[in-house]
Amino acid sequence: MRLLVTGGAGFIGSNFVHLTRQMFPEVRLTVLDALTYAGTLRSLQGVEDDIRFVKGDIADRELVNRLVGEHDVVVHFAAESHNDNSLREPWPFVATNIVGTFNLLEAVRDHDVRYHHISTDEVYGDLELDDPARFTETTAYNPSSPYSSTKGASDLLVRAWVRSFGVRATISNCSNNYGPRQHVEKFIPRQITNVIDGQRPKLYGDGLNVRDWIHVDDHNSAVWTIIERGQIGQTYLIGADGEKNNLDVVRLILAGMGKDPQDFDHVVDRPGHDRRYAIDSTRLRTELGWRPQYSDFESGLAATIDWYRSNEAWWRPEKDATEYRYATAGAI
């Protein structure tokens, strides 16, 4: 199989490339990545000789069409992925998440290439803390931020290209990932690296917002399950029953790093901050037989803390610029 991975120098995409090298060494991998602030070749260290890397933008329609035509399957991870950035400067989210996806869909349509679309649970909006409901594949789209609305728009393009043009596509909507190689702008790596730097973690608002955490390797094993056994045109929700509020996660990080669990600051809340996400992944488990391997969040978090402690050379180049962006944005 010749597999094109967009966004393969980012967090989830690079972990997907490493996992694929281990699980399916016979797969011929190409990574297409623009190497924005969120992508780095450091994330592909160890596999660089086994893959083809193409630096390029998914907004480049000609490049996308040519590359897609050379492959059997496309897995599309590339995106502008951070909510806080989308609140400051939404345009790159429209360009990459909507126009970039459009270009990929036109290319897979042109060359009749199998396509898997990586998306997020945030397209469904949020739930109240005391709501017993969880998101399912039939929950109505109700995105809150420029990030999640552009991801929702890209999902709808995929659905239309399946129905109108017979494109062979599947979609997955996953909850919050954690694990190695996640950019230091995101919640868990930001707090771990703050503690390493002797800074106090920063909790938005009251900290009671709930995220449904899943280890990145579980997300990626689910993606492989869908590539292999998913039904064309179908959407699958990916989650590992990992609901936790941010306050508890910050306390776990502090305790896991030998600090006082109260040693954090509350800062002004994110505008429009989604309250709670929760995934019901019954379809993926019953129809495709997928199961997560990382059932214990605390040990996955401990391994993630160890990774950031041992890999300062990976994250250090981004830390100051990231904190500068937060500081100059005001509250967050």
3-class DSSP state for residue 280? coil
CB of residue 263 to ligand NAD, shortest distance in Å: 26
Closer to ligand DAU by CB, 157 or 214: give it.
Answer: 214
Sign, Cα dihedral of 161, 164, 167, 170: positive
**Alpha-carbon span 327 to 332, nearest angstrom:** 7
| Phi and psi torsions of 62, nearest 5° | -65, -45
Answer for the pair 277, 133: CB distance below 8 angstroms, yes or no.
Answer: no
Lookup: tokens for 192? 């771990």
In whole angstroms, the minimum distance from the beta carbon of 170 to ligand NAD comes to: 14
Calculate the dihedral angle through the C-alpha atoms of 208, 273, 144, 102, rounding to the nearest 10 degrees. Answer: -100
Helix axis angle, 187-196 to 312-328, nearest 10°: 100
Which of the listed partners (ligand NAD, ligand DAU, none) does 190 bind, with a CB threshold of 5 to 8 Å by partner kind? ligand DAU
The structure tokens listed for 122 are: 């945030």
Site string for ligand NAD, 77-96 (x = CB under 6 A): xxxxx--------------x
Longest Cα–Cα distance in the chain: 57
Q: Does 105 bind ligand DAU (CB under 6 A)?
A: no
Half-sphere exposure of 250 (CA within 13 A, CB side): 26
Least Å from the CB of residue 27 to ligand DAU: 25
The entry of ligand NAD, ligand DAU, none that residue 114 binds, CB within 5 to 8 Å by partner kind = none
Give the interface segment with ligand NAD, choosing from 132-140, 170-178, 285-293, 299-307 (CB under 6 A): 170-178
Q: Is 115 helix (H, G, I), strand (E, B) or coil?
A: strand
Residues annotated catalytic, as ranges: 121-122, 147
Q: What is the rounded CA–CA span in Å between residue 284 and residue 72?
A: 23
Q: What part of residues 144-183 is at the interface with ligand DAU (CB under 6 A)? A: 175-176
Which position among 29, 34, 253, 284 is part of the footprint of ligand NAD (CB under 6 A)? 34
Residue with Cβ nearer ligand DAU (109 or 183): 183
Closest to 182 (Cα-Cα) out of 308, 277, 92, 90: 308
The least CB distance from residue 106 to ligand DAU, in Å, is 24
The distance of closest approach from Cβ of residue 332 to ligand DAU in the complex, given in angstroms and rounded to an integer, is 7
Instruction: Please identify, among the stretches 162-170, 172-180, 244-252, 260-268, the one whose residues bind ligand NAD according to the rule CB under 6 A.
Output: 172-180
Helices (H), 71-145: 83-88, 91-93, 101-111
Q: In the bound complex, which residue of the shown chain has the CB atom lying closest to ligand NAD?
A: 10
119 contact partners, CB below 8 Å, separation of at least 6: 151, 154, 155, 171, 172, 173, 174
Minimum distance from residue 186 beta carbon to ligand DAU (Å): 4
* Helix or strand run (H / E) with residue 240: none
String marking each residue 175-214 x if it binds ligand NAD according to CB under 6 A: -xx-----x-------------------------------
Q: Which of residues 245-264 bind ligand DAU (CB under 6 A)?
A: 246
Q: Which does 236 bind (CB under 5 to 8 A by kind): ligand DAU, ligand NAD, none?
A: none
- Binding flag, residue 18, ligand NAD (CB under 6 A): no
- Contacting positions for ligand DAU (CB under 6 A): 81-83, 120-122, 175-176, 186-187, 190, 202-204, 209, 211, 246, 270, 277
Q: Which residues bind ligand NAD (CB under 6 A)?
A: 6-7, 9-13, 33-36, 38-39, 57-59, 77-81, 96, 100, 118, 120, 151, 174, 176-177, 183
